[in-house]
Amino acid sequence: MEKRNVGLFNESSLFFCYNAFMKFLLVGVNASYSHTCLAVRSICEYVNQNAAVNNDFVCNFAEFTINQPIAEIYRGISQEKPNVVLFATYIWNAEFVCKIIADLKKIIPNVFIFAGGPEFGFAPEVYFSKLPTLDLIISGEGEKTVCNLFNLFAETNNKPITKVELIEKINQKNIKGLYYFQIENTNQKIHFTGTVDLIHNLEELPFAYPDLSLENKIFYYESSRGCPYSCSYCMSSLDKRVRFMPLERVFSDLQKFLDANVPLVKFVDRTYNLQEERYIAIWNYIVQNHNKKTMFHFEIEAEYLSQKAIEFLQTVPKGVMQFEIGVQSANKQTLKAVSRSDNIEKLAQNVKTIPSTIHKHLDLIAGLPYEDLESFGKSYDFVMSLKPDALQLGFLKVLHGTQMELFAQKNGWQWMENPVYETFSTPYLSYDDMIFLKDVETVTDALWNKEVFEHSVNYAGKIFGFWNFVCNVVKLGRENNIFDAPHKDSFWFEFFAQKIIPQFVEKNCDDKKVPIIMKELLRYDFIITGKKGGFPTWYDHRYNKEEHRNLLEENGGVKNARLDFAYSEYEEFFIDVHATDFEKTYNGKTIYKELIRYKMANGI
């Protein structure tokens, strides 16, 4: 059976629809175009492989994004002519999905509207209250429940069915995992049909991507379900029943991604590194069969990496794996309060052993218990001491059904009433503190996570401390009203040169070498970003064409003068930009000559 992504609006298929009389349409509304919705794909494949055969009833899926005009989404759904529409919901799309659901029956009057996923599934009373047109909410794993619903509709033999009749049939068939509401004595009462049995053998799940030809897409993959840990703010802590996909099946699935040369596969396992022999075997398969094109992303708990795993990671080439590591805080009292491991010493030791060939993305969460600005600053410096390739500063979301929700209600947290439920303030952080941390996030993204200011910011962190430096950049930024709009790298270079160095570095460092070294490293960061058509006023370009030619001759010769000069640059510095101790290389006299080579358009 052909399945297609109507959310992409491929004109060749837009007006095509199945000849079937009835259709079950699963809808994913993604955060951006590059994302794929694993849930609707997995459920659709499961239904098509396991439901009772009925040539007059089909299951299909469609994907859209929250950035699309809602009218396009109405059109895309209506042209599929569905009898049942099921939405996958999360905190990032819930409000947008509510808007779609509110008006969908005006366009398709007799359609049944269902919703599942971690957002609606854990707050049925909230969404039934908001959305009178919502017929059912699916709780927990969706594959079995949706398949049972599909079979129920298929058994109607294309005859119309009312909501009352649907609920009667659900109860007759004893279909688990559903919430529905009925009006009883003028009161709306929500009923739950019971917890659905989990899929214990994950090999029953079909491969979710029969079509891997989609370009510029992130493919999500799960090799396990459930999480044994109890982090109080996390939805995954609610399901501790961990199940694993058989290794041979995982290898088979990974080979499909590798054969298709997809650019990025993100494992969505709640904690990937749970069973040493298993997770190392998967890594080993990837390394042994790698196509030199596909990057694999894993979320890991670094403190639980075994010695055998650490030794294996030393063999992983560049461009194969990237890790996301949730540090969340370095405050042990905070970590205990949210039921996380407080062994930050072991975490630090293990993170430092992960080789530079593996991109490391470390997370912090602002708004956790017992974490004020001073404590958060210590956590920030702790993470930066681990030399992450990226530091993601997140903000606590108080999610329905979590232990954190109960704790926050009792202890004075304030957070958004609607998704994404982000924290406004805590007993330890005022709203102004949280806004300050939002600006810290902006500065961190601009000056660290983009890896554009690596040399200058590393030096600033060494001299002033990373937290102290970033906080002072935020203060300067506020004085210059820079947080009102996003800025390009060119702006940040100029701000660094004309504001940060003269107004912070020079005023807060007695060593007169430091501002000069900082400026030289900033120049180096700027010149290595790419060939310049022109140089900004702050940049002191020291160029000598003859020296440029000499360095080209010394480094492989001049084979094609036009290309060699076009894809390289010559620059002079007052310091050795490759040194470990810049102060020792600066004497005000010595000139260090640098040849910077850029990648040509053909990759050479």
Q: Considering only the C-alpha atoms of the chain, give the largest distance between any 2 of them, rounded to a whole number of Å.
A: 92
Distance, in Å, from the CA atom of 66 to the CA atom of 28, rounded to the nearest integer, reads 10
Per-residue pLDDT tens over the stretch 352-386: 999 999 999 999 999 999 999 999 999 999 999 99
Per-residue pLDDT tens over the stretch 553-583: 999 888 898 999 999 999 999 999 999 999 9
Q: How many CB atoms within 10 Å of residue 96? A: 21
Q: Which of 227, 117, 95 is nearest to 179 (CA)?
A: 117
Distance, in Å, from the CA atom of 477 to the CA atom of 202, rounded to the nearest integer, reads 51
**What pLDDT score was predicted for residue 577?**
98
Mean pLDDT of all residues in 158-168: 91
Query: Could you tell me the two tokens for 31?
Result: 């955060």
DSSP one-letter code for 504: I
Pairing status of strand 57-65 against strand 22-30: parallel
Q: What contacts 164, CB < 8 A, 6 or more positions away?
A: none
Q: What percent of the chain has pLDDT over 90?
A: 88
Per-residue pLDDT tens over the stretch 337-360: 999 999 999 999 999 999 999 999
Amino acid at 135: D
**What pLDDT score was predicted for residue 236?**
82
**What pLDDT score was predicted for residue 8?**
35
Nearest 10 degrees: CA dihedral of 376, 382, 387, 391? -20
Radius of gyration of the chain (CA): 28
93 backbone φψ class: left, alpha, beta (φ>0; ψ -120 to 50): alpha
Mean pLDDT of all residues in 157-179: 93
Q: Is the pLDDT of residue 453 over 80?
A: yes
Distance, in Å, from the CA atom of 41 to the CA atom of 385, rounded to the nearest integer, reads 41
Q: Is the pLDDT of residue 189 over 60?
A: yes
Reported confidence tier of residue 187, pLDDT bands at 50, 70, 90: confident
Reported confidence tier of residue 220, pLDDT bands at 50, 70, 90: very high
Average pLDDT along the chain: 93
Per-residue pLDDT tens over the stretch 8-25: 333 222 223 333 458 999
Query: Could you tell me the two tokens for 378?
Result: 């210590």
**What pLDDT score was predicted for residue 575?**
98
Measured between alpha carbons, how far is residue 476 from residues 188, 273, 479, 598 in Å?
55, 42, 5, 33
Contact between 455 and 398 under an 8 Å Cβ cutoff? The reply is no
Per-residue pLDDT tens over the stretch 230-279: 999 998 877 778 999 999 999 999 999 999 999 999 999 999 999 999 99
Mean pLDDT of all residues in 443-468: 98
**What pLDDT score was predicted for residue 113?**
98
Long-range contacts, 200-206 (Cβ 8 Å, 24+): 200/243, 201/243, 202/243, 202/244, 202/245, 202/246, 202/249, 203/245, 203/246, 203/249, 204/46, 205/42, 205/45, 205/46, 205/143, 205/245, 206/42, 206/45, 206/46, 206/49
SS3 329: coil
**What pLDDT score was predicted for residue 97?**
98
DSSP one-letter code for 28: E
Q: Is the pLDDT of residue 498 over 70?
A: yes
SS3 166: helix
Per-residue pLDDT tens over the stretch 110-119: 999 999 999 9
Backbone angles phi, psi at 448, to 5 degrees: -125, -55
Per-residue pLDDT tens over the stretch 15-62: 233 334 589 999 999 999 999 999 999 999 999 999 987 777 899 999
Per-residue pLDDT tens over the stretch 299-326: 999 999 999 999 999 999 999 999 999 9
Reported confidence tier of residue 159, pLDDT bands at 50, 70, 90: confident
Q: Is the pLDDT of residue 288 over 50?
A: yes
Query: Could you tell me the two tokens for 532?
Result: 């310049």
Q: In a 10 Å sphere around its CB, with 0-12 CB exposed, 13-18 middle and 19+ buried, how is residue 135 labelled?
A: buried
**What pLDDT score was predicted for residue 214?**
87
Reported confidence tier of residue 421, pLDDT bands at 50, 70, 90: very high
SS3 419: coil
Q: Which of 156-165, 167-176, 423-432, 453-462 has the lowest mean pLDDT?
A: 156-165
